[in-house]
Amino acid sequence: MSADHARGSDAIAVGAGVAMREPSRGTTHWLVEKFDAEQTAWVTSRSGVVAPQRAHFARLGVRPYETSEVAGNVITNAGWTRLMSLATGQGGQPLDGTHTRVGVGNGTTPESYTDPDLSGVSKWFQPVSSAAVLGTRTMQFVATFGGNDGNFAWNEFGIDCTAAAATAGASVGELLFNRRAAIAQGEKALGQTWMATATVSFT
């Protein structure tokens, strides 16, 4: 097991005059669980599930060969605008179980508030496996990248809002909610299963 740690957050501040300042932060903890092709093939044969999810690996006692964590993101201007629109009842598509994808790309361009998409030539947006899990000031999304999904070097993450399915090289859908560059996850190989969990926290 190895871990790749990085830190970062996206912050805004609300204050009255100079006497009071209350910072607000939105950041994302990214967790990647990696299963190799042999593990994936074994779980597939034993479970009968063509594209096994975390529960199938866990039920058969198969642990990831590597687990990696990355902290930080930039919530894009489009992402903040969508949050504020939903909070004030002005409409917009929510990040629900059928309109949210976790994206990965091989781009190395630093993240920016104005990012409209991931920067890589190779990229893959994978639909989340279910509706967001909500906690206290958190929302969590999980996407499973199967043997044929996202097989290239993972250098950036992002969450987008769209009803589109997963396709190789696809651009962002309706909007890119957030982005994290310089994640250095290595190259996903054919036949491997990688699970990406994005936990967005607000403080």
Structure tokens at 81: 């605008």
**Nearest residue to 143 (alpha-carbon basis) of 3, 30, 15:** 30
**Does any domain span residue 10?**
no
**Does any domain span residue 12?**
no
Quick one: DSSP state of residue 187?
B
Strands 74-75, 175-181: pairing is: antiparallel
**Does any domain span residue 9?**
no
Domain holding 85, by residue range, is 36-202
**Does any domain span residue 70?**
yes
If one counts the domains in the chain, the total is 1
- Report which secondary-structure segment, H or E, holds 10: strand 10-16
Contact indicator for 82, 17 with CB cutoff of 8 Å: no
Structure tokens at 191: 């036949």
**Does any domain span residue 3?**
no
Q: pTM of the entire structure?
A: 0.86
**Does any domain span residue 31?**
no
3-state secondary structure 68-126: EEEECCEECHHHHHHHHHHHCCCCCCCCCCCCEEEEEECCCCCCCCCCCCCCCCCEEEE
**Does any domain span residue 166?**
yes
**Does any domain span residue 122?**
yes
pLDDT digits (tens, 9 = 90+) for 126-168: 999 988 899 999 999 999 999 999 999 999 999 999 887 877 6
pLDDT digits (tens, 9 = 90+) for 46-98: 999 999 999 999 999 999 999 999 999 999 999 999 999 999 999 999 999 99
